[in-house]
Structure 1
Amino acid sequence: MRPRLRPAALLRLRVRLGRADSGRAILEFVVVGVLLLVPMVYLVLVVGRLQAASYAVSAAAREGGRAFVTAPQEMQAPGRAQVAASIPLGDFGFEGQGATTYRCDGSPCLRPEGRIAVTETVQVALPWVPDFLAGSLPTSVPVSATHVVTAERFAGR
């Protein structure tokens, strides 16, 4: 048989046990929350920026290729493609940061059924990485996409 505690003794016991742990839960929550929340927010920012860059370069390569093969003359094609590729890059916040390259499978580029590979590359800067760490840590991530388009078979150029 267990000994019964009187109500006053039981109350003193509860008060004494309660004091030993008061305030620690808030401290633990704040410390663990900050230790987990800050890296998660940074990860979400970086992944979001890389995803935006991948959408931007994909759309820019596709639009650049379409503009290249629809040019009326071959000497106008690179300029048209550059302008067309800059529009999706600007929409995703990479205005003036893209590098567009073109590779033809033969000469001239716009011959019937000629294939043109358009590659768009963007350097995505990592947020909050100071410049003095550039020698030891990567401060940007390259993101690129390639789109291959075929010139029209019966285009009259």
Structure 2
Amino acid sequence: MRRARASTDDEGSAALEFILVGLVLLVPIVYLIVAVGTIQGQSLGVETGARQLARTLADSPDAATADARAQRVRDAIVAEYGLDPDAVSVSIECGGAAPECPAAGALLSVTMRASVPLPLVPAVLGLDQLARVPVEASSVQRVSRYGGVAP
């Protein structure tokens, strides 16, 4: 009788099962939270960059000033949000008949793209380059009809 009771005794195994199952479930959830937070932070940086670049270009009086201001804004956004400068690209389109951008009354479109590396991915066999999430944001701004000078 005593022997049958000893084989069904589970004393002490609940704590071990809790720790094992807790680790198996907790580690992926924590990684997911960190990865989504990183992607969201970079996404906010790209969105802010596109919006600020469009505003800066629309308020510039000429193309040379627009280029200098745009480079300063891009560098500030990259530094503030921790973006990889090599993974950030900016494309600018200026709608309208004028060949030079920013032209008075033109519709200015700025698209900023970046790729976000997932955290804790090793640089072995190029895995860090494969484990990247692309983020993109666009902003449209109309240039003042007075030639980029704020009314």
TM superposition score normalised by structure 1? 0.79
Unaligned stretches of 5+ residues in structure 2: none
Of the candidates 11, 14, 21, which is equivalent to residue 32 of structure 1? 21
Task: Report the alpha carbon displacement of residue 123 of structure 1 after superposing the two structures with TM.
Answer: 1.2
Q: Alignment partner for residue 105 of structure 2, among 113, 126, 134?
A: 113
5+ residue gaps, structure 1: 1-12
The residue identity in structure 1 corresponding to 2:95 is: D
Deviations 1:57-88 (A, max 9, x none): 11111111111122222122123112113323
Quick check: 1:115–1:151 contact (8 Å CA) kept in 2? yes
Once the two structures are overlaid, the 10-residue window that deviates more, 74-83 or 48-57, is 74-83
Which residue does the alignment assign to 1:102? 92
Q: How does 1:68-79 map to 2 (within 5 A)?
A: 68-79=57-68
**Counterparts of 1:60 and 1:81, CA distance in 2:** 10
How far residue 156 of structure 1 moved from its aligned partner, in angstroms, is 7.0
Please report how far the alpha carbon of residue 95 of structure 1 lies from its aligned counterpart in structure 2 after TM superposition.
Answer: 5.7
Mapped to 2, the partners of 1:156 and 1:32 lie a distance apart of 61
Which string of whole-angstrom CA distances, capped at 9 and with x for unpartnered residues, describes residues 79-119 of structure 1? 31121133233222226352222111242222221011111
Structure ID, larger Rg:
1
Aligned to 2:71: 82
Moved over 3 A (4+): none
CA-to-aligned-CA distance 1:9-42 (integer Å, 9 cap, x gap): xxxx9xx57x811110111011100100110011
Residue in structure 1 matched with residue 11 of structure 2 by the alignment: 22
Is the 1:82–1:100 contact (alpha carbons within 8 Å) kept by the matching residues of 2?
no
Structure 1 residues 156 and 105: CA distance shift in structure 2, 3 A? closer
Following superposition, the deviation at residue 139 of structure 1 comes to 1.5
Q: Bigger shift: 96-105 or 62-71?
A: 96-105
Choose the corresponding residue for 1:58, options 42, 47, 50.
47
- The percentage of aligned residue pairs carrying the same residue is 34
Residues paired across the two proteins, number: 144
More contact order relative to length (CA 8 Å, sep ≥ 6): 2
Residue number in structure 2 paired with 1:49: 38
